[in-house]
Amino acid sequence: MTLTDRNWRDTAHVRASEAVTATTVAATNELRPRLLAVEQALELALTSLDRREPLAEAQFAVLEAALLLIRAGEAPADQPPAERLELLGDALGSVRAAVQATSVTVVRARDALRRPNRTNSPHPPLPNPVSSRSRDAHVH
């Protein structure tokens, strides 16, 4: 191999590498606004949600999953597959947490509807027509 052939191959390799980098940067720049928006929403959720409540935890988990999925989608071509797999696995875990927390919220909401009270009952409770006092009065 001559020096010229070697230089040409090195130059071609550098150009190919630059093209991959440019494509990765373009893809990252395209995803960047979405990534930033989800990151900001997640930060807001961290400061404003009480994660002890299942509905708030579900909201947080969905945002976390979205962030992880966007990061997995923007992974550069030269990133080891194991790193992308880890992001996808973490996203799946967040989605599972969101489903579980939402399920708890649904069960609690259904239970609340089954218990009559002043806020969810279509009619106010009726007074007991026969009180214990009037029943005792008729027994004599």
More confident site: 43 or 138: 43
**At a CB cut-off of 8 Å and minimum separation 6, what does 69 contact?**
87, 88, 91
Compute the distance between CA of residue 129 and CA of residue 100 in angstroms, rounded to an integer.
45
Judge whether residue 49 has pLDDT over 70: yes
The answer to whether residue 65 scores a pLDDT higher than 90 is yes
- Helix, strand, coil percentages (3-state) for the chain, rounded to 5, are 75, 0, 25
pTM of the complete model: 0.61
How would residue 99 be classed by pLDDT, with cut points 50, 70 and 90? very high
Do the Cβ atoms of 55 and 99 come closer than 8 Å?
A: no
Domain spans of the chain, in order of start: 34-115
> How much is the pLDDT for 29?
62
